Structure 1
Amino acid sequence: MSGPAQNAGRPAGLFDARPVPGFSDIDWSRGWLAPLADRGTRWQQSALESYPAYLSTLNADARAEPRVTGRGKVLSFIAQDDLPAGASYEGHIAATGCVPTRHNLHDFFNGAMWFQYPRIKAALNARQATEIDALGIGPSRGAARDALTLFDENAILFACADPLLAAALRAFDWRAVFIGHRAAWGQACEAHIFGHALLEKLIAPYKACTGHAWIVEVEPAYFLAADAERRAILDLHVSDRLASEPVSSRCFTPLPVLGVPGWWQENEARSFYDDPHVFRPGRRRIGA
């Protein structure tokens, strides 16, 4: 599906003839999308039908599985045009529970995260609303809101039970992370994409696509739990940190998405990781 709704918010490049991905281009077999597939396929069909049908499906799920936004308001979804003039996006969500939602992939994945990680989304919304209350809306968001937005748009939750592996990731030691510790993936570490802009970009995957990893220390028993239980553990741990700790760009470390074992067939060859334009040496260490 393509058209004006799919191009909303996307600059028109004069020499960019690539088609803009739409709802029909979602491949639920991708490793990073598979956890969203059960709900996502229903939403996809509604989105392909019409904008009203899509919003209706999102709101039906919100009624069936109630969530709250940053200030305890019950979650619902509204058309983008229903956002009052002059209202801030995050402030409106916190104050009313209503998430302005466009008929495009970006907002599709944003909505999905409200169900996958409701506590994290609420914590981000609360922090954003507090920053807006304190500083207002200006030409720039400021460092704190920039970091919160970076999390919301591009974060990867990197669950890790091995401090050595976490240290290797922070040090940009790609061969250790993806080759030396390859057997640890699924046993001592794993990645979950949270950022909805990152999920949108990955509809048309490319090698250099990189997320911002937020390292979550977990116990080894975490990896014995079912997928839904692991997501709930991450949701609780990360939301607690977001509510209580300062957030800055230094809380993240880069993670090239297609390097994750099991997510891209080409990375089964060791030479995949030899590309210095993607797997770059770090200029500094980034703590989490």
Structure 2
Amino acid sequence: MDVPWLRPYAAWLAWLDTAPRDARTAQRLERLRQRPGAASSVPTFVPHERLPPGEAYEAFIHRTGQVPTRDNAHDAFNGLVWWRFPATKARLNRLQAAEIARLGIGGRRGPVRDALTVFDENGALLHAPPALWAALRSRDWRTLFVTQRAWWREAALVLFGHALLEQLQQPHKALTAHVLCVPMPAPPPDPEPNAHGDGAGPHPWDAVLAATLDGWSAEAWAAKPFTPLPVLGVPGWWPDNAHASFYDDTRVFRPARTPKPSEAGGAGALATL
């Protein structure tokens, strides 16, 4: 299926589809290890029943270098993101494991693990001109998608969250990514094999992103450094958004919330992002 959100994973999906029909998802993901350019640092994918009862999923990955994998689309997309963003996924896993070791497993994840999970499940990465970033951060949807629409020719959006990729198997207008507030570098120019992130090996943004996140504190994550983006509003991502009226739906394209006085200045740790 040639849709914009799958293009960074298209070559890997095609390789996955060569597996025997009766192969389990972990086996299919392991086949990608044979693909030219595949990163050797990606952990091993194993059937989900290898996860011992009572052990946290992220702690198990960190301890064993194995990813428990169920036979469903959600975990298949998770594996694909591991292959495309191995350094970033490993960094997120280390942070999750450190929080689990520090706080244990309770009824709630806590603010740091919650933010890490939001990005892992629903995150997105964006390269865009400053005018688009400014409109996105202020949730000025009209400027972002209508007035400044031509600037999207200079932009590139890559979905990182595997749950979001799964949900987009049945697209609907309300699907919203959490864009990490770290502008990505420009993609390599055509005809570079990775020009759209769909060639062999890790995605061109993986090393840059992982290095950036290495410098982040727990407090920076706890502040949830994301901004929402209804992905089917991106020009070229959905036919209906060619009409400006598409963006009049305030149930999806919600205006920015006015912060409470107690929240003012709460994101100081992210001021330099």
TM > 0.5 fold call? yes
1:181 alignment partner in structure 2: 148
Which amino acid in structure 1 is aligned with residue 245 of structure 2?
A: S
Match of 1:3 in 2: none
CA contact (8 A) 1:222 1:230 kept: yes
User: Compared with structure 1, are the counterparts of its residues 131 and 63 closer, same or farther at alpha carbon in structure 2 (3 Å cutoff)?
Assistant: farther
Partner of 2:63: 95
Q: Does 1:224 align with 2:192?
A: no
Q: Partners in 1 of 2:66 and 2:77 — Cα distance? A: 16
Once the two structures are TM-superposed, the CA of residue 127 in structure 1 deviates from its matched residue by 0.6
Alpha-carbon distance in structure 1 between the residues aligned to 2:174 and 2:193 = 27
Question: Distance between the aligned counterparts of 1:197 and 1:227, measured in 2?
Answer: 27
Mapped pair 1:207 → 2:181: no
- Which amino acid letter does the alignment assign opposite residue 40 of structure 1? L
- More displaced 10-residue stretch of structure 1: 93-102 or 178-187: 178-187
CA distance in 2, matches of 1:279, 1:137: 36
Query: Could you tell me which residue of structure 2 aligns to residue 110 of structure 1?
Result: 78
Percent identical pairs in the alignment equals: 42
| Secondary structure at 1:46 match in 2 | coil
Could you tell me whether the CA contact under 8 Å between 2:12 and 2:32 is conserved in 1? Answer: no
Counterpart pick for 1:39 among 7, 12, 34: 12
Q: What CA deviation, in whole Å up to 9, does each residue of 1:195-224 have, x standing for no partner?
A: 0001111110111111111133245x5463
Instruction: Tell me which moved more, 126-135 or 278-287.
Output: 278-287
Residue 253 to residue 62, structure 1, CA distance change in 2 (3 Å): same
Corresponding position: 1:248 with 2:222: yes
Partner residue of 2:103? Answer: 135
RMSD over aligned CA atoms reads 2.2
Q: Give 2:22's match in structure 1, choosing from 28, 38, 50.
A: 50
State the partner residue of 2:242. Answer: 268
Is 1:67–1:118's contact at 8 Å kept on the other side of the alignment?
Answer: no
Is structure 2 residue 210 aligned with structure 1 residue 239? yes
Going from structure 1 to structure 2, the CA distance change for 1:218 and 1:195 (only over 3 Å counts) comes to closer
Given that 1:216 and 1:234 are in contact with CA atoms closer than 8 Å, whether structure 2 keeps it comes out as: no
CA-to-partner distance for each residue in 1:241-280, whole Å, 9 max, x for gaps?
A: 3222121353001100100111101101111111111111
Instruction: Output the CA distance in 1 between the equivalents of 2:212 and 2:54.
Output: 31
SS in 1 for 2:108: coil
Change (3 A) 1:97 1:158: same
Contact 2:125 2:184 (8 Å CA) reproduced: no
Structure 1: stretches of 5+ with no match in the other structure: 1-27, 69-73
SS in 2 for 1:121: helix
Equivalent residue in structure 1 for 2:231, among 238, 253, 257: 257
The C-alpha deviation readout for 1:113-153, integer Å capped at 9, x for no partner, is 01111111111111111111111111111100000000000
AA aligned to 1:172 is R
User: For 2:229, what is the secondary structure of its paired residue?
Assistant: strand
TM-score (norm 2): 0.84
Structure 2 gap ranges (5+): 198-202, 260-266
Q: Does the aligned pair in 2 maintain the 1:62–1:76 contact within 8 Å?
A: no
- TM-score scaled to structure 1, two decimals? 0.80
Supply the AA of the counterpart residue of 2:4. Answer: G
- Whether the 8 Å CA contact 2:7–2:196 is kept in 1: the answer is no
Question: AA paired with 1:279?
Answer: F
Pair 133,213 (structure 1): closer, same or farther in 2 beyond 3 Å:
same
